[in-house]
């Protein structure tokens, strides 16, 4: 992982422990659902202004790194 800044968080007191963007109540899954439906990152950000573009990009980069690591185990 390139950055040590946390962009996602899970807390039982926030949406029952659902993984959300830090500082928001927006589930990370919502971003993935938007993209899966063919919506753009800009559309997601317009609908969820509490999520910063940098956070969304960092989550996508993390997902990419995890998928690559999973597909190519050391």
- E strands, the chain, in order: 8-9, 20-21
Look at residue 61 in the predicted model and tell me its pLDDT. 94
* Residue closest to 49 by CA, chosen among 74, 21, 17, 69: 21
Taking each helix axis as running N to C, give the angle between helix 53-71 and helix 28-36, from 0 to 180 degrees, rounded to the nearest 10. Answer: 80
Over the stretch 33-74, which tens digit does the pLDDT of each residue have?
999 999 999 999 999 999 999 999 999 999 999 999 888 776
The shares of helix, strand and coil residues in the chain, as percent rounded to the nearest 5, are 50, 5, 40
pLDDT at residue 2 is higher than 90: no
Look at residue 32 in the predicted model and tell me its pLDDT. 96
CATH topology of domain 8-71: Arc Repressor Mutant, subunit A (1.10.10)
């Amino acid at each position: 992982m390139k950055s040590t800044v946390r962009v996602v968080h899970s807390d039982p007191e926030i949406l029952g422990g659902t993984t959300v963007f830090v500082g928001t109540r927006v589930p990370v899954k919502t971003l993935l659902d938007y993209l899966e439906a063919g919506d753009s990152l800009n559309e997601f950000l317009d609908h969820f202004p509490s999520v910063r573009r940098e956070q969304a990009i960092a989550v996508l980069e993390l997902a990419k790194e995890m998928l690559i690591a999973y597909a190519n185990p050391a």
